[in-house]
Amino acid sequence: MWGAKEGYGASINLDFGQPFLKIREPIKSNAKSKRVREILSFRQVIVSGEWHLWIYICDWFILQKGETIAKSILKVR
Locate the domains of the chain by residue range. Answer: 2-72
Model confidence, pTM: 0.61
Pairwise CA distance, residues 64 & 33, whole Å: 45
Sign of the CA dihedral with 28 first, then 30, 36, and 38 last = positive
**Alpha-carbon span 47 to 23, nearest angstrom:** 9
Print pLDDT tens along the chain (77 aa).
Answer: 777 777 777 888 889 999 999 999 999 999 999 999 999 999 999 999 999 999 888 888 888 899 988 888 877 66
Phi-psi category of 8—alpha, beta or left, where left has phi over 0 and alpha has psi -120 to 50? beta
Instruction: Please say whether the beta carbons of 3 and 13 come within 8 A.
Output: yes
